[in-house]
Amino acid sequence: MSKSITARISAGVFTALVFASAPAAADDPALVTLSAGVFDLVSHRTQEFEGRVEYRHGQGFFETDGVFRGFKPMVGIMGNTAEAVFGYAGLAAPLAFDGGRWEFVPSGGVGAYHEGNGIFLGGTFEFHVGLSASYAISPNSRLGVAVYHISNAKTHRKNPGVNSLLLQWSWAFN
């Protein structure tokens, strides 16, 4: 079986496991996050404007009442002004500080990338990792910044990878 087919099957199995498993009960709300900023921060070519929409489930796995809030399933889509699109799914691991006012969230997942008129990242199958920091500006709203990296981790011959720097606004709901 070719690397490309194996990678696509692995991504499908991972996504199915993330969303088919029954999450444990949690007090955390679900979040919808809108992000905007710079795509290809360390520029391969012309930097582009990027927008994202992401949904993070309120319930997760291995949850605690402490700083570590558990692994939360997430799904998102990114688009930029070069008509590139990236849809992804994965897990976020929120860390809450100061009574939940501050939140730091490492995340990772897999997805499908279409280059549009933008940067060729080696293929469709890509990995996604990120780190965000946000502050609760109201009981149901957060404002923050995030850094994301998209790369195929050398599953394709070409692997330039791209980084994004974004402002984020999140809305919590149950």
What are the pLDDT digits (tens) for 148-159?
999 999 998 988
- Cβ–Cβ under 8 Å, residues 48 and 118: yes
Please list the residues that pair with 52 across neighbouring strands: 35, 78
Q: Which domain holds residue 165?
A: 3-173
* Mean pLDDT confidence for 3-32: 58
Give the number of domains in the chain: 1
Mean pLDDT, to the nearest integer, of 16-28? 51
pLDDT top residue among 103 and 13: 103
As a whole number, mean pLDDT of residues 67-91 equals 96
